[in-house]
Amino acid sequence: MLYYGITMLHYDITMLYYDITMLYYDLTLLYYDITMLHYDIKMHYYDITMLYYDITMMRFVSL
């Protein structure tokens, strides 16, 4: 009976370690997703700014 209890404890600790590892992995992926989203938003901002400058330059050139 003691062996069964020790085996179950070992299994529980292993599962806890696995859960913590998966949580760390999920949080790391979330961090990378948020970082990529931040860069995407910055790039879209630069694209829109460049488009605005292009349109402004076209207006001046057409005058």
Q: In this predicted structure, what is the pLDDT of residue 60?
A: 87
pTM of the model: 0.59
| Domain housing 21 | 1-63
Res. 63 pLDDT band, cuts 50 70 90 = confident
Q: In this predicted structure, what is the pLDDT of residue 44?
A: 96
d(CA 43, CA 37) in angstroms, rounded, equals 10
User: Which tokens in the block code for residue 36?
Assistant: 């990529």
Residue with tokens 């970082």: 35
Domain count, the chain: 1
Q: In this predicted structure, what is the pLDDT of residue 13?
A: 97
pLDDT in tens, 36-49: 999 999 999 999 99
